[in-house]
Amino acid sequence: MTIRSTKLTAVFSLFAAVLAVGMSLPERQASAQVKAVPREGVAFNDTVTQRVKIESVDPESRTVAFTSTTGQLVILPVTDSVTNLAAIEDNSMANVTYTEVITMLNLRQKGPGSQLARRDQMDTKPNATDVEAGRFTLTVVGVDLAKNTVSVIDGRGGAVRTYAANTIAKQDMLKKIKVGDVVIGMTTPLLVTAIAPAR
C-alpha cells in the first residue's frame, strides 16, 4: 500500500512540476511559430488597350463592366473625358483603354510547397482563381541595366512589354533577375480613359 501511494505521489509531483514549467514559459504567438516567406515585388504603371466584351454600362455611376482578353471580369470607373458612354451597348464588343498597375513578384521563394506553387504559377492554362485575381506568369526576355528597363512577355503569349525601373526598389529588382526567369504578374486595373465600339 505504501509503494502504491509513493508512486501516486511521485506521478502527481511530476505532473505539478510540468504544469509549473509550462506556466512560467513565455507564451509564443502563432505568428512567431509559423513564419511566412516574404515575396518581393515591384509595381509598374501601364496603359492597356484591348478589344473586350462589354458586359454592362452604367452612364449614371460612370462605370463599365467588361471581360478582358484573359477572361477576367473587370468593373472600372470611367473618366469624365469619355463622353460617349451612353452609346456603348451591353453585350457588345468595344476597344477599351484603361490604366493598370502591374506588380511583379519573384518566384525564388523557399519552404514547404514552394516547388508546387512555382509549378502551378507556370501552368500555361491558369485556373479560374488566377484569372479572377488578375494573376499570370511573365517571362523575362530582356534586362537593360544601363537604361534601367525590363522587358517581359506574358506566359500566354502576346506583345513584349518594357517597363522602366524608375525607383531604387525597381532598379534593385533588375539586378536580381535575368533573361529566361519566370515571375508572377498581378494586374490591378484602375480607370477607363477611352472606350469606342469595335468595328
Residue 58 has pLDDT above 90, yes or no: yes
Please state the separation of Cα 163 from the chain's center in Å: 18
pLDDT at 146: 92
Instruction: Please name the residues in contact with 152: beta carbons below 8 A apart, sequence gap of 6 or more.
Output: 104, 138, 139, 140, 141, 160, 161, 163, 183, 185
Give the type of residue at 53.
K
When pLDDT is averaged across residues 111-120 and rounded to a whole number, the result is 48
Q: What gap in Å lies between CA 167 and CA 43, rounded to an integer?
A: 10
Instruction: Please name the residues in contact with 93: beta carbons below 8 A apart, sequence gap of 6 or more.
Output: 51, 52, 53, 54, 197, 198
pLDDT at 93: 94
The three-state secondary structure class of 24 is helix
* Residue 88: how many other CB atoms lie within 10 Å: 20
Tell me the per-residue pLDDT of 73-103, one tens digit each, with 9 for 90 and over: 999 999 999 999 989 999 999 999 999 998 8
pLDDT at 15: 45
> Measured between alpha carbons, how far is residue 113 from residues 110, 117, 118 in Å?
8, 6, 9
Show the cell assigned to 91: 453585350
Residue 14 has pLDDT above 60, yes or no: no
pLDDT at 19: 44
Q: Is the pTM of this model over 0.85?
A: no
Give the type of residue at 79.
T
| Candidate from 59-73, 96-110, 137-151 with smallest mean pLDDT | 96-110
Residue 21 near residue 13, CB atoms below 8 Å? no
Residue 22 has pLDDT above 50, yes or no: no
When pLDDT is averaged across residues 163-176 and rounded to a whole number, the result is 86
Residue 52 near residue 68, CB atoms below 8 Å? yes
| Domain extent listing, the chain | 2-26, 41-197
| Candidate from 12-26, 50-64, 73-87 with smallest mean pLDDT | 12-26
Please state the separation of Cα 128 from the chain's center in Å: 14
Show the cell assigned to 165: 525601373
pLDDT at 41: 72
Show the cell assigned to 169: 526598389
pLDDT at 13: 54
When pLDDT is averaged across residues 169-195 and rounded to a whole number, the result is 86
Residue 165 near residue 148, CB atoms below 8 Å? yes
Show the cell assigned to 22: 509550462
